[in-house]
Chain A
């Protein structure tokens, strides 16, 4: 019974195993990045980036035709450029990071629409570029796992300065030369995870897995390390639950996975011990973060 419901789909079908590996890979790579994005109040970066990569994808398309590799590399370059420029502006001027990112992503999106339109292509590039979790081939899986590894290693190396940057960027800037390195390395990681995820899984999927588990983890843990651990766990469980729901009830997989994460978020919101609604409603004092 339990075998049939939980294990059999993965045992019987290669595409389910691949989808699961893909989910675990982005849970390990994208979700920790999402925790830091949330702590830096940049939770909407993912959506902005999905638009910012358009000119890169369009140029990739013009050069190499409908080649996903070329379009992904183009998207990566465009996303990186937007992240670097907005990171530079937010460090060098009083404009906040969200505003400078919004400015650059809008410019980038406009350039992208311009390129696509002047070339008169009728293929919806973004539609083609965004994959689905059910169609992961070896190349996409390798890409996701490589991104997850790079992300984890970089985060481990930069963990202290990153946490400091989230808490008190001014302080870090004044005591250490690592501030700029940390800032840009983190932005690069975010772009890498997002573009790789768009390519392999689609926008909703990657942005959702990046942000929702992080938001849920906020109600369970107070330390950054604890939040990352909870968030990764939530992401992996949501991925598995979503795939099984998609399998047993014929639901589209991407939305099913994100809704599973959404349920986890809602439960955390109500029942989470740190700042959850349920605790204050019952009159218990909230545990202070």
Chain B
């Protein structure tokens, strides 16, 4: 009896999903985004037509997040689940499985020429025969990433991740990519396109609105992109190295031509080695870098220690993986990008 009723209800629901033109057109569709930055993007496109739940809120660290039952419920009720992908949300698969999610899962970085994982990997040129030797040569690494950026641009749009991995000249044996793709405004447009397409499919009645929102948002993104390029271009050539806590700015680096260095790896969970810290101190001394930047989500004691040893000052707080509270300096994605760029520029240009 119950089974039949459930089946009927499911059938009705499926029909409703397939053709939500009628009664459902006005009800906001439930969607879930995994972390605050993605949530902000989704909110901008969906507007009032979606009921958005963001799992890892402002100030949260999505690398090491532990989902709650409330999260599982939100996911199970959602029609669309927006994730970053590129192994950013390691906890997500278990959550999706546990919550019986039956909607559409949208990988927002789909179709991007993602940057390969650069930290702690396999540059064979230093420390021959030593597996962990990857990040002694920081200057070389930075150059390597610039190389990647051009590589990425050429292939953008017609590239998928596996192709990229195979065609890559570095031989990344773990096949991992840097997940922090939102740090490039150009890639943000891809995020927006993926989000818009998914929302339009889920709620065709409001597709036109979504595309209007997209156009407005993309215009803002492009304006900010130009703004940041101008900010960076105004910096002297030898004042373009930024030291921060964990490797979250690979895309910013590739896009805008700043070199980012971090003692901690790509995830906030990794532990640095004495060699990493020593190499970083050498680099700061050699290039007379006078400001380092702390991040909102990580333990900054190590960076403060490096700063005090080299005499560098703390140039400000950067927001890498999470927005600040709405009234903070990085309440939205665009504010975050602007805040990071201006903070970096202010500290780097003021140095002697």
Mark A residues whose CB is within 8 Å of B. 9, 12-16, 18-19, 68, 117, 120-124, 127-128, 131-132, 134-137, 140, 243, 246-256
Contact = CB atoms under 8 A, between A and B. Distances in A.
B60 A15 contact: no
Contacts, number: 105
28 contacts: A13-B277, A13-B281, A13-B309, A15-B305, A15-B306, A120-B68, A121-B60, A122-B61, A123-B59, A127-B61, A132-B271, A132-B301, A134-B277, A134-B302, A137-B304, A140-B301, A243-B274, A246-B273, A247-B275, A249-B133, A250-B130, A250-B132, A250-B134, A251-B273, A252-B270, A252-B273, A253-B274, A254-B271
Given A249-B130, A250-B136, A250-B276, A136 B59 contact: no
A19 B275 CA distance: 13
Which one of A19, A117, A253 has the highest number of Cβ atoms from chain B below 10 Å of its Cβ?
A253
Contact of B301 (A12, A19, A135, A248): A135
B150 interface: no
Contacts of B301: 68, 131-132, 135, 137, 140
Interface string B267-305: 011111111111001000000000000000101011011
A128 B299 contact: yes
A117 B67 CA distance: 10
Nearest to A254: B271
B109 to A, nearest CB: 22
A251 B273 CA distance: 5
Nearest to A134: B277
B273 A14 contact: no
A127 B302 contact: no
B278 A249 contact: no
B110 to A, nearest CB: 26
Interface string B112-146: 00000000000000010010111110000000000
B57 interface: yes
A123 B61 contact: yes
A200 to B, nearest CB: 9
Given A19-B274, A250-B273, A123 B297 contact: yes
A251 B132 contact: yes
B134 A15 contact: no
B273 A253 contact: yes
B308 interface: yes
B64 interface: yes
Interface of B: 56-57, 59-61, 64-66, 68, 127, 130, 132-136, 268-278, 281, 297, 299, 301-302, 304-306, 308-309
**Closest A-B pairs by Cβ, 8 of them:** A122-B60, A135-B302, A246-B274, A252-B271, A250-B275, A247-B274, A135-B301, A250-B132
A131 B270 CA distance: 12
B56 A134 contact: no
A123 B268 CA distance: 12
A134 B272 contact: yes
A79 B187 CA distance: 48
Contacts of A12: 278
Given A14-B309, A134-B305, A250-B136, A124 B271 contact: no
B309 A15 contact: yes
A274 to B, nearest CB: 34
A246 B299 contact: no
A136 B61 CA distance: 23
Contacts of B277: 13, 15, 134
A9 B133 CA distance: 17
A43 B278 CA distance: 35
Contacts of A137: 301, 304-305, 308
Nearest to A14: B309
Nearest to A17: B309
Nearest to B62: A122
A221 to B, nearest CB: 31
B278 A247 contact: yes
B274 A131 contact: no
Which one of A68, A121, A132, A255 has the highest number of Cβ atoms from chain B below 10 Å of its Cβ?
A132
Given A13-B281, A136-B305, A137-B301, 19 more contacts: A9-B274, A9-B278, A13-B277, A15-B281, A15-B309, A122-B59, A122-B61, A127-B268, A127-B269, A127-B299, A132-B271, A135-B299, A135-B304, A247-B275, A248-B275, A250-B132, A250-B135, A252-B271, A253-B273
B245 to A, nearest CB: 11
A117 B65 CA distance: 12
Nearest to A244: B274
Contacts of B308: 137
A139 B9 CA distance: 63
Nearest to B308: A137
Contacts of A117: 68
Nearest to B126: A250
B272 A252 contact: yes
A81 to B, nearest CB: 25
Given A14-B309, A255-B271, A132 B61 contact: no
A133 to B, nearest CB: 9
A43 B60 CA distance: 35
A70 B162 CA distance: 47
Given A250-B276, A254-B271, A127 B305 contact: no
A115 B134 CA distance: 40
Given A123-B297, A137-B301, A137-B308, A16 B278 contact: yes
Contacts of B66: 124
B219 to A, nearest CB: 32
A12 B274 CA distance: 12
A135 B298 CA distance: 13
